[in-house]
């Protein structure tokens, strides 16, 4: 069965660790910036910097860990679906997002897990749809038939290699061979005449 391999990502055994590290870094950095602003805003005057740094130390690892759990589960489900389905397509991340959301909310009951799974699948479907649309918009246009012929070294009928139409009456090959009618009836140009005058028929020799 043919597989559509996504060459922009790591292979599956290494993809889990890559997604774990990327998700943790994204959560820690993003959460750190948010809580730096919140800690600085809620700190008294004179302790703004200390309050912001304390909020980063307290909250950034927790948010990074939550993101890492989500990214690790998503990547594991994605690799499992790739191994089962033997191909990579947009349905794998959509199903992985739904399964990840459902598993993370399973401790709160089946209704909450179902809602979280539906939201996760919808979010990943939206992301995949935007990614596919951007890929199609930024892709170069397909080559025209004339460009394909020139790339392959040929040219369409009636058109030379430069794209200009060929004039039949000025073809040097036809002038050298004496033209189509001379090839049929006259047997070609008389090469013994160098003055350009047409050769006269030899009636006497034919009668003799």
Looking at the structure of the chain, the number of domains it has is 2
**Within-domain flag for 52:** yes
pLDDT tens-digit map of 90-140: 888 899 999 999 998 888 889 999 999 999 899 999 988 888 888 888 877
Name the domain boundary from 98, 119, 139.
139
Torsion over CA: 23, 29, 30, 35 (sign): positive
Name the domain boundary from 86, 101, 124.
86
Residue 40's alpha-carbon distances to 62, 64, 125, in angstroms, are 19, 20, 37
**Within-domain flag for 50:** yes
Same-domain check for residues 130 and 104? yes
Same-domain check for residues 43 and 66? yes
Contact by Cβ (8 Å): 32, 56: yes
Name the domain boundary from 119, 139, 159.
139
Structure tokens at 20: 């774990």
State the angle between helix axes of 48-85 and 91-104 in degrees (0 to 180), rounded to the nearest 10: 120
Strands (DSSP E) along 13-124, which ranges?
none
Cα angle for residues 80, 84, 88 (degrees, 5° grid): 80
**Within-domain flag for 183:** no
Determine the pLDDT at residue 122: 92
Determine the pLDDT at residue 149: 65
Determine the pLDDT at residue 202: 57
Q: Which domain holds residue 15?
A: 8-86
Determine the pLDDT at residue 115: 92
Contact by Cβ (8 Å): 54, 89: no
Determine the pLDDT at residue 114: 92
Contact by Cβ (8 Å): 71, 101: no
* Residues of the chain below pLDDT 70: 1-10, 13, 143, 145-208
Same-domain check for residues 101 and 66? no
Query: How far, in Å, CA of 147 to CA of 73, rounded?
Result: 48
Determine the pLDDT at residue 14: 77
- The gap between the terminal CA atoms of the chain, to the nearest Å, is 81
Same-domain check for residues 29 and 78? yes
**Within-domain flag for 146:** no
Q: Which string of DSSP letters, residue by residue, matches 133-149?
A: HHHHHHSPPPPPHHHHH
Structure tokens at 27: 């959560």
Same-domain check for residues 80 and 95? no
Same-domain check for residues 18 and 45? yes
């Amino acid at each position: 069965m043919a597989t559509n391999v996504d060459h922009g990502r790591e292979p599956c055994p290494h993809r889990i660790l890559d997604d774990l590290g990327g998700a943790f870094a994204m959560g820690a950095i993003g959460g750190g910036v948010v809580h730096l602003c919140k800690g600085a805003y809620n700190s008294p005057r004179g302790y703004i910097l200390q309050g912001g740094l304390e909020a980063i130390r307290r909250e950034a690892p927790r948010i990074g860990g939550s993101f890492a759990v989500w990214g690790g589960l998503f990547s594991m489900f994605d690799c499992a679906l790739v191994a089962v389905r033997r191909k990579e397509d947009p349905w794998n991340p959509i199903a992985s997002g739904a399964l990840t959301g459902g598993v993370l909310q399973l401790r709160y009951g089946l209704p909450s897990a179902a809602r979280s799974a539906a939201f996760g699948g919808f979010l990943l479907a939206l992301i995949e749809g935007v990614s596919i649309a951007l890929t199609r918009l930024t892709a170069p246009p397909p080559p025209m038939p004339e460009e394909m012929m020139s790339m392959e070294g040929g040219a369409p009928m009636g058109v030379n290699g430069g794209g200009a139409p060929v004039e039949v009456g000025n073809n040097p090959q036809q002038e050298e061979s004496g033209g189509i009618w001379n090839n049929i009836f006259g047997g070609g140009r008389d090469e013994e005449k160098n003055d350009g005058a047409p050769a006269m028929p030899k009636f006497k020799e034919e009668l003799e």
